[in-house]
Amino acid sequence: MKKQFTISFYLGSLLVVSVSPAADLKQSKFTQVVNDVRIVSAADNFEKPAVVNAIFNVPDLVRTGVASRAELVAEDNTITRVGANTIFSFDPANRTIDLQQGSLLFHSPKGKGGGTIRTGSATASVLGTTIMVATTSDGGFKVLVLEGHAAIKFLNGLQESLGPGQMTFVLHDGRPAAVINIRLGDLTSNSKLVQGFTSPLPSMPLIQQQIADQNELIRTGLAQDTGLLVGDVATPTTVQVVDVNTIKDNQSSDEPPANQPTGGGTPPPTAVVLNSSTLPSQYIFNSSQTFGSFTFPAPGFLAPSNLPNITISSPTIDLSSYNSATSFGFLVPNGTLATNNSVTFTGLSSTAALDLFAQQFSFASGSTVEADVGLFNLEPQTATTLTNVTILDKFQNSTQEQSYGEVNITSPSTLSLVGSTVQGSFVLLDGVTGVSITKGSAVTASFGNVSVIDGGGINISGSAIKATQGLLFGDSNSGDVSLSATGAAVNIGSGTTISAPSLVSIISDTGVSIAGASTITSGGFLDILASTTPSDSISVTGNPTLTSGPSSNLILQASASLTVNGATINTDPTFGQVFMDATAASGLITVKNASISANNLTLNSGDGILMDGTGGTLTLAGTGASPQVNLTAAGGSGGSLTVNNADFTSFSTVNMAAHTINLTGVAFSSNLANPVNLKSFLGLANFGSSTPGYVNFVANNTWGGASITANSLPGAYNIHISTSGF
């Protein structure tokens, strides 16, 4: 028989676990709470201590402190144990356990449905087993089986099966690494996730049998204990290992490491820890550094390969020694840049650029990361969520068209702000596969523009996006907010405010949805555009308020459909114009229960228009001198324009054109100087019903309160009916 080799295992943190429909994770009970364990309300971030027998409900969050841990049990007896310094929540939408940081042990009873470990790179299916999991600093993760089996399915289609006492890495790019045998006895005897709870794991007899079997293999010489620890770095063909006799203790956690082997020893350090404002000189680079498509000029600070992470504990990082440099790179290309508290980078020139480049960021909740420089770049290389943190560049741009005081946050994957603040003179947020801004986040450009761009959709709810002034001090007439999405829609949810002293533009090549009690206010033009492809649509529903600025227009332009239901739309009362377009040949415009105020209201549709106040309120206010309404449905033989329960008496001129026009409960001004021009395919009036090709006065239409009849047309009421040429 081939001799096996066993080495010990070191757990890191961060994982997403999804469970099968057999397990109800919407509610679990705390069965043990050790030291500092808190429940954080998802609604208002209010924290309260967790207690035994308390029910944990989604979408709240669990946070544990130093030397703390907790056990939760679901109704099907699925056990989830979380260790110290952990942030943990359930997500019922896709039935996941989200472990933002910390360690996890997951036990699913046999026959209860098992579960699936999922990250952005790979998926591991688990059935009737007990496992430990942890992510690595480069964005991958590692999984170890204590008993039972795990099947790992990689993105490239490969599959790997793990048995008891085996572990492997799932690399950050989704590729597999080698399978390694682990000394289970050492691991389980020192792990707080196994031994640190009052009640033993139900699967402990099975784990002990696996330990006994492994010990027998070692005793008989069929396996060998190497005395090595698995590190945090792997490739498809290699795994980092460390000799336990040469490493030093660099652990800050109060909880003993889960992998401490028999005979002593602790895991190797994995991070450069900055406890003072002065940077260690041995990590300063003096020649340019290139990582993928990124090249950073000298000088800068680089995490070495054997310490791939950087943890900042000092409240300041003094960069005054590099004041003459045009840029400074703070580089963590293979790991995590973490902070234990607020930190301010000081000493660089006000025109310099500071780059924070890392696989991922882990900023302390409630902290501020600040750099008062010309350009403050944050460049995570994996999907990134900033939760309850502030990113700040307080330098104020005082020179026109100079990019001073900018904050740029860019990710090649998704970028999410949750209850976080980003502020600079200019702000750019770029998530290549999506941007999410939620739960009270605030994005502010104090002296320029806010730009949010992505390649996979923009989702904003309960947050504020604003530019406060233009490029010069005292310039309150410029400064834009731009949201631009490709490949997916822009979705703006309830509780959102978007404002700018100049232009607000919302653009998508897929669609735009504005819903609920949201407010969008522009000091200039307000442009909402979704007309790149024939299927693009715009929906403005609930009770949002859209406002454009003085002498400026408000434009809603879609291709397939444009729906306005329950919204308030305001423009400059003297010159403001509202344009609604559905440009595709099959384009439809629907306006219901809305309030619209404009000097000029124009709706152009490729096929049909419905303006309907039935069952609600449709308020149309013509303002300024000679206000007009222009409604055109150019849909050939199928194009129709239907207006129900609408009051046009405040408009001087009303123009309608479509193949077929249907009017019910429509009121026109009694002023003979105010013409009503109605054009249909046949150019003829019809009363009491709807007939294709006609202008149909179906019922209850009035001129100055008097009923419109066949005998009163055309001259008596200044209503002119003609052919449109359709």
How far, in Å, are 9, 15, 130, 214 from residue 6 at the CA level?
10, 25, 19, 9
Q: Are the C-beta atoms of residues 518 and 497 closer than 8 Å to each other? A: yes
Q: Provide Rg for the chain, Cα atoms.
A: 32
Domain ranges of the chain: 4-243
**What is the full DSSP assignment across 664-704?**
ES-EE---TTS-EEEEESS--EEESS--TTSEEEEE--EET
pLDDT of the residue at 91? 57
CA distance 255 to 36: 13
Task: Quickly tell me which residue has 């007896």 as its tokens.
Answer: 77
DSSP-derived pairing of the beta strands 608-612 and 640-644: parallel
Give the pLDDT confidence of 266-309 residue by residue, as tens digits. 334 578 889 999 999 999 999 999 998 899 999 999 998 888 88
Residue 23, number of CB atoms within 10 A of its CB = 20
Give the pLDDT confidence of 635-651 residue by residue, as tens digits. 766 689 999 999 999 99
Q: How many CA atoms lie within 13 A of 285 on its CB side?
A: 19
Q: What are phi and psi of 468, to 5 degrees?
A: -105, -25
Task: Assess if CATH 2.60.120.1440 describes domain 4-243.
Answer: yes
Torsion of CA 269, 272, 274, 279, to 10 degrees: 150
Taking the alpha carbons of 2, 8, 10, 14 in that order, is the dihedral positive or negative?
A: positive
State which residues of the chain have pLDDT below 70.
1-26, 90-102, 110-128, 135, 137-140, 154-158, 172-174, 226-228, 231, 236-269, 397-403, 470-478, 636-638, 714-716, 724-726
pLDDT of the residue at 710? 82
CA distance 276 to 70: 33
pLDDT of the residue at 702? 92
pLDDT of the residue at 715? 59
Nearest to residue 475, comparing CAs of 466, 467, 483? 467
3-state SS record for 510-550: CEEEECCCCEEEECCCEEEEECCCCCCEEEEECCCEEECCC
Q: What are phi and psi of 5, to 5 degrees?
A: -125, 135
User: What's at 136, amino acid-wise?
Assistant: T
pLDDT of the residue at 96? 61
The C-alpha angle with vertex 108 and arms to 102 and 114, in degrees rounded to 5, equals 105
Q: Are the C-beta atoms of residues 86 and 65 closer than 8 Å to each other? A: no
Give the length of the chain. 726
Question: Which burial class, exposed, middle or buried, applies to 149 when counting CB atoms under 10 A from its CB (0-12, 13-18, 19+)?
Answer: middle
pLDDT of the residue at 471? 58
pLDDT of the residue at 15? 39
Task: Quickly tell me which residue has 């003979």 as its tokens.
Answer: 672
